[in-house]
Structure 1
């Protein structure tokens, strides 16, 4: 069995604001992706578009969907491999983000990413997301609340 990726982080903001950052299109654009499509319901879209100039199907998290929503507490969704791993791109892994209020000014998130296969491509995808979640997405979320939102045109 391949172990899930698990990340815990304290975010310097009220839990409801952190929830909105992950679950609204305007919130996602402040830290995660320059464009997105979110339909916050089970079966709804949760698509991130990172490379707006890429051809359709290669822009990012296209085709990903929300599996479950527990408002203010948990968001569960499917996720796909990056375009550079086409052999597994259209298979889906599973991401769950849990939200917990720590104080009136901070929240804890726990992000769990599982559903990995065992081939070399799956190992490459897991390594990719270990870096993406831990060194890019979660730090950007923290910066969104400490420094301010990302201005994607300046990236």
Structure 2
């Protein structure tokens, strides 16, 4: 009887372990944003688009400070005329660079989400040559919290990264983004916000 009880307990423990193995990935799966685009650019051109000021301002934002080394600046100024800390990704840093293969940087939420903005998420961008004149660029954004502003930030960047990669694609098809209208609109918003009421 003791042997039967031992076998039964072992079977139940084994079944629990098997169930845990099946469901663990569901619990452990971390929320992420994954986007990919193929651009009409050589690997060198695609890499330079993400690792130089000239490259970033050609598709991502009107101004930037880019220092392509580990710990170097990856400051993306969506609104260059805003006060310090409100320009966009003001104080971001490169976390890793594998030349012409992968780069990563920390990232924050937009100023409209101040609680989430105090935290950091992480973005990994990978580069893969398709042929001599085309490169696949893949983006993976992770490190999300749950609920409240985190959910809003996730939804915001799920849309925003699609737009950024579409701009990257357009940059190599029809030329750099002209930020003139964007900058005028931002200036008008700032003036309207600071006008006496």
**Structure 2: runs of 5+ lacking an equivalent:** 1-28, 183-197
Alignment partners' CA distance in 1, 2:31 and 2:147 = 14
TM-score, normalisation: structure 1: 0.96
Q: CA RMSD in A?
A: 1.0
Alignment partners' CA distance in 1, 2:176 and 2:108 = 25
Aligned position for 1:21: 49
2:90 aligns with one of 62, 70, 78: 62
Q: Is the 8 A contact 1:13 1:105 kept in 2?
A: yes
Which aligned segments of 4 or more residues in structure 1 are displaced greater than 4 angstroms? none
Higher helix share: 2
1:148 aligns to 2:178 (yes or no): no
1:33 aligns with one of 57, 61, 76: 61
Once the two structures are superposed, residues 21-73 of structure 1 have per-residue CA deviations (whole angstroms, 9 ceiling, x without a partner) of 01100111100011001111101110100112222111100111010000011
Bigger CA radius of gyration: 2
Which shifted more, 94-103 or 6-15? 6-15
**Structure 1: runs of 5+ lacking an equivalent:** none
* Displacement after TM superposition at 1:90 (Å): 2.0
Alignment partners' CA distance in 2, 1:90 and 1:27 = 27
* Displacement after TM superposition at 1:2 (Å): 4.0
Alignment partners' CA distance in 1, 2:161 and 2:55 = 17
The number of residue pairs the alignment matches comes to: 154
| Higher RCO (C-alpha under 8 Å, 6+ residues apart) | 1
TM-score, normalisation: structure 2: 0.76
Higher strand share: 1
